[in-house]
Structure 1
Amino acid sequence: MSAETQAAPREQFTGQVGFILSAIGSAVGLGNIWRFPGVAYENGGGAFMVPYLVALLTAGIPILFLDYALGHRFRGGAPQAFRRVKGWLESLGWFQVMICILIAVYYAAVIAWAGSFFVYSFGEQWGDDAASFFVGDHLQLADVGGADPWFTFDFVAAVLIPLALVWVAVTVVLAAGVVKGVQRANVIFIPLLIVAFGILVIRSLFLEGAIDGLNVLFTPDWGALGDPDVWIAAYGQIFFSLSVAFGIMITYASYRRRRSNMTGPGLVVAFSNSGFELFAGLGVFSALGFLAAQEGVTVADLDFQGVMLAFVTFPTIVSQMPAGAFFGALFFGSLVMAGFTSLVSILQVVSAALQEKFALSRRAATLGMGTVLGVVSVVGFGTTTGLILLDTVDAFVNNIGIVASAIFMCVFVVWVYRRGPELRYHLNAVSTAQIGRWWYACVGLVVPVMLVVMLVQYVIQRIDEPYGEYDETYLLYAGWGSVLLLFVGAIVFTLPRWRGPDAFTAWPDYPPTQDAAVMKEATR
């Protein structure tokens, strides 16, 4: 038993089911429902499934295994795990924590909107013009770039109150602990999410025009397979939807018992996430086909990307459906559950890092984190300019911050410090599904190459074409400033002395001190 274990027994999931449901709860989020259908449609329809599957097998699952191996072997959240790989790499862990902080403060706002629309659904309060209701009545969106400044302190009660409630709820769940809080929330919400969204999808499949919507989504454009941008889009979708490379899966894996199967559950999580995305695509495009038929337009004429799909297009669909109020409540209730379980996982990364570095109790770390980030979230996204700030920070943090994090992780862990064989040995020693040498090629070559291409392409695009046609000065502060904040925060959190328990012995031994035959079998 390691000195670390003797000093402070680590919290643990009660078993494999609790861990799997928690990991699925993290992976399945808002993006699965509104991002995948649009990306698939724009990149070859049915043909997109080919690069999507290739990306899942060569990038999604390998990086998920890398996260699992780091967290499970080095028994810590992102900063502690990377610190145990090499001392100064603690900063990479804090870089991932900073990503989680920035995502959490705006992600909570979207959950709050969904919660409000869940209530609105019962009376279909958005009326005949869902777009005007969302940006006008609900968000009271300022005329940014026009008569109003880019940022205001004009708070919107319809956003501020539910947003504060989201932060209270997530803080309570995290303060309860890994088993009584995180695991219990996922064990309750994930089955409910599947049932609620399943009812919605089944109903959507039988709507008038549903088949037209499905034809739009799944009619293959095989010529798209020759377009490099389609392959980049597939890798991007897999990468963003699995919650990898920003500390979540590292942290969750660290709460598993030392003798725990890791690769088998990893496959379950990866394919469950992709299965839910496909399932969501069926429901979304069936509903879009119905709306197009009702309005006498084509599906291509509708807006089915991102926030507008959820808070404008779907309310419009609900208003024209039989028993629309019921299905509206199912849809927005599903968004709340999917978003909440993901938010719990995001903030668990922050809480775990603070506990381990500063020797804080779970309650102290959680309450401090919840209070500070809750205030930042309310001030930034509970105002009339919250939507614009959210859109900007989300684009830059996801497309630059997370991608850069994954590149750094692959380069330093696999190439510079050559921990690949040790991590593969660890996974094979504790798991039933063995991974071969192909894993090195994926995490050491395929993933970093694809992500470098994605990162360079996105940076060039943002330089040549300002994001969202927003003011360049605003993007400098809100967009590029967010990226800079990731690096500054990583340095600031790394500088203080490590106060938590530091003694540690990795298990199983590597290289093995005995039973070479077992090692050979585990690494062949």
Structure 2
Amino acid sequence: MDQKQKSTVKMNVMNPGNRLGHTQSKAPEREQWANKLEFILAVAGHIIGLGNVWRFPYLCYKNGGGVFFIPYVLFLFTCGIPLFFLETSLGQYTSQGGITCWRKICPLFEGLGYGSQVVVLYTGMYYIIILAWAFLYLFSSFRAELPWLIYKRLYKLCNRRRILGLSDGIDNIGNIRWDLALCLLLAWVLCYFCIWNGVKTTGKVVYFTATFPFVMLVVLLVRGLTLPGAKDGIMFYLYPDPSRLTDPEVWMDAGSQIFYSYGVCTGVLTSLGSYNKYNNNCYRDCVYLCLLNSLTSFVAGFAIFSVLGFMAKEQGLDISMVAESGPGLAFIAYPRAVALMPLPQLWAIFFFIMVIFLGLDSEFVYQEALVTTISDMYPSFFQNNCHRKLLLLGINVGSFLVGLVMVTEGGLYIFQLFDYYACSGMTLLLFAILQSVCIGWVYGGDRQYDNIKDMIGYRPWPFMKYCWQYFTPAICTCTFLFSLIKYTPLKFNNTYEYPWWGYAIGGLFTLSSTLMVPLWILYKLLKAEKQFLKFHC
């Protein structure tokens, strides 16, 4: 077997890192963002979502108030920003989506791309259910009297029975809630037309969808700060408790929040970055976007807890009795709070419009990333824009049909399975470890820095490279192991235990994405061995 044949076999497993865009055959010309602002707004719309409003403030007060920023900032600078920059720069350098970028950089780790796209597919299926709830609440806000004002203390029960029609378990799915199903259809139609013509459409839509939530957030913030009891709510949000830093769960929460809110390890940032001009300064963009994301989370806490402080004062309750996280904050606690204000319909409308736009941005960017990734795998076929639109339509229709199961009377149980297992934090941590090792050591941190210098004209601060090689994989590994040790099976509302087959479905959700990586590595190694034996013999 001569040297040329040996290098051919090696190339099938790992790309040696030549300038990709100039050494390979020319692909069909790729669309690009019309300008930098479109890219900035698209990424901002994706990462600044519902988690900034309903998860970060709750975690902050739960984990020691102001001291929570210590582990949060540590994870931000050692994991969040480095991974964010890594994925965006990969997309910009290769001009490829979440799978084919790994095929060009390091084919051995192409399974990372497949696994991340499975996560994106699952996320798109269940995340849009939140928009269906928000639309139903928005339409209810136009009534002469708000439903949650009528039921007052029975509102939690009302929410589950009226809005969700909740059954007594996952084994009793019940009927489809057709009002929710129509709201779900509306959400999918909006999502489709936001991205139906690729980045030409997306780039224009984000001018409104990415900026309007900020306007609503400022309006709600100003209103909240003028309410009686707002100061108590903010103190509750930020009052420091240094003793909480000794609790490992606080650090776990900080790390998980970074992964959830920065959209890393899903390939979405890679797809969005792939539409950049080659010489765009993605390093500067990424740092500014990450800081904007964290600042938005911080400010959102003031908007939320000022209103919760008002609600607690009006009802004579401790703030801990009204503070909730996740959908409970958006669809139970906050609506009850605005119902106590003057002009409650107005503030409810403002709030749910903000929720819809925050969710819609994230949702259609997930779909854009998925379509981009598949299109890049078959560029000749999807160069025809009609084929791309049909692909998007097929994904949306299929996801809508799956989503119908989650708007049944037992749909919330299935929604929680998707949230807990299909988009598992442990899966994202595993992907973070692998892609850091891949770029930092297998492909080479210095080689990636050379690629970045070729794009932006200078080498970024070396700290990023050291994070890829040392800090990010080490911290993510510790967090991953801690997650395994602290793992507890999902309980709906902390009381309902799923049947064994419910947990089995959840396990299949997780394995369907994580197993993509080792299976692909095994496939490539066996293929390389087969080629070696063929040439050797």
TM-score by shorter chain over 0.5: yes
Separation in structure 2 between the aligned mates of residue 209 and residue 45 of structure 1, nearest angstrom: 18
Deviation of 1:432 after TM superposition, in Å, equals 7.0
| Residue equivalent to 2:4 | none
Name the amino acid aligned to 2:504.
Answer: Y
In the other structure, the counterpart of 2:321 is 301
Contact preservation (8 Å) 2:490, 2:498: no
Q: Deviations over 1:88-131 (max 9, x none)?
A: 42221010000001111110100111111111122212332331
Check the 8 A contact 2:420/2:490 in 1, yes or no: no
- The residue type paired with residue 328 of structure 1 is A
What SS does the aligned partner of 1:279 have? helix
Equivalent position of 1:170 in the other structure: 191
Aligned pairs (5 A) from 1:195-344: 195-344=215-364
CA displacement at 1:445 relative to structure 2: 2.1
Seen in structure 2, the aligned counterparts of structure 1 residues 401 and 472 have a Cα distance that, compared at 3 Å, is farther
* SS of equivalent to 1:152: coil
Shift in Å, 1:457: 2.3
Partner SS, residue 424 of structure 2: helix
Aligned to 1:435: 460
CA distance in 2, matches of 1:363, 1:492: 31
State the distance in 1 between where 2:398 and 2:113 align.
20
Corresponding position: 1:480 with 2:483? no
Residue range with higher mean Cα deviation, 91-100 or 349-358: 349-358
2:302 counterpart letter in structure 1: L
- Residue by residue, what CA displacement relative to the aligned partner does 1:445-492 show, whole Å, maximum 9, x if unpaired? 222222222222223333578674522514422321210222467799
Partner of 2:391: 365
Shift of 1:309: 0.8
1:350 aligns with 2:375: no
Distance 1:51 1:309 in 2: 24
C-alpha change, 1:449 and 1:475, in structure 2 (3 Å) is farther
Aligned residue number for residue 504 of structure 1: none
Partner of 2:425: 399
- Matching of residues 417-456 of structure 1 within 5 Å: 417-431=442-456, 434-456=459-481
Aligned to 2:147: 125
Q: Does 2:439 align with 1:413?
A: yes
Measured in 1, the distance between the counterparts of 2:165 and 2:520 equals: 37
Contact 1:130 1:313 in 2 (8 A): no
Aligned to 2:531: none
Contact 2:115–2:512 under 8 Å retained in 1: no
1:139–1:156: 8 Å Cα contact kept in structure 2?
yes
1:410-448 deviation digits (Å, cap 9, x = unpaired): 122322x13322222223343378522221221222222
**In 2, are the aligned partners of 1:130 and 1:311 still within 8 Å (CA)?**
no
Return the alpha-carbon distance in structure 2 between the equivalents of residues 7 and 455 of structure 1. Answer: 39
The residue number in structure 2 matching 1:521 is none
C-alpha distance in structure 1 between counterparts of 2:345 and 2:24, whole Å: 53
Q: State how far apart, in whole Å, the 2-side matches of 1:130 and 1:464 are.
A: 28
Q: In the alignment, is the contact (CA less than 8 A) between 1:211 and 1:286 conserved in 2?
A: yes
| Distance of 2:462 and 2:49 partners within structure 1 | 32
Whole-angstrom CA distance in 2 between matches of 1:227 and 1:494: 37
Aligned match of 2:527? none
Specify the structure having the higher radius of gyration (Cα): 2
More deviation in 273-282 or 363-372? 363-372
73, 80, 93: which is aligned to 1:53? Answer: 73
Alignment-mate amino acid for residue 476 of structure 1: Y
Which residue of the other structure, out of 451, 460, 480, is the alignment partner of 2:485?
Answer: 460
The 3 A distance-change label for structure 1 pair 7 and 167 is same
Task: Give the Cα separation in 2 of the matches to 1:408 and 1:9.
Answer: 31
Tell me how far apart the structure 2 counterparts of residues 135 and 24 of structure 1 sit (CA, whole Å): 32
Contact 1:466 1:475 in 2 (8 A): no
d(CA) in 2 for partners of 1:202, 1:432: 43
Supply the distance in 2 between the matched residues of 1:164 and 1:97 (Cα, whole angstroms): 23
CA contact (8 A) 2:271 2:369 kept: yes
TM-score (norm 2): 0.86
- Asked if the contact 2:224/2:303 (under 8 Å) is kept, the reply is yes
Q: If the length of structure 1 is used for normalisation, what is the TM-score? A: 0.88
Q: Secondary structure of 1:142's partner?
A: coil
**1:302, distance to aligned residue in structure 2 (A):** 1.8
Give how far 1:194 is off.
Answer: 0.8
Kindly, what percent of the aligned residue pairs are identical? 25
Q: Residue 436 and residue 74 in structure 1: after superposition, are their counterparts in 2 closer, same or farther (change >3 A)?
A: same
Q: One-letter code of the match for 1:443?
A: W
Q: Aligned equivalents of 1:119 and 1:289: distance in 2? A: 26
Per the alignment, residue 498 of structure 2 pairs with 471
Question: Are residues 1:194 and 2:221 paired?
Answer: no
Q: Aligned pair 1:106/2:126, yes or no?
A: yes
**Distance of 1:399 and 1:407 partners within structure 2:** 12
In structure 2, C-alpha distance between the alignment counterparts of 1:464 and 1:119, rounded to whole Å: 36
Tell me how far apart the structure 1 counterparts of residues 262 and 432 of structure 2 sit (CA, whole Å).
Answer: 13
Give, in angstroms, the shift of residue 26 of structure 1.
Answer: 0.4
- Conservation of the 8 A alpha-carbon contact between 2:406 and 2:412: yes
Paired residues of 1:304 and 1:313 also in contact (CA < 8 A): yes
Residue equivalent to 1:512: none
Shift of 1:367: 1.5
Q: Which of residues 55, 79, 84 is equivalent to 1:35?
A: 55
CA distance in 1, matches of 2:97, 2:127: 21
> Does the aligned pair in 1 maintain the 2:311–2:337 contact within 8 Å?
yes
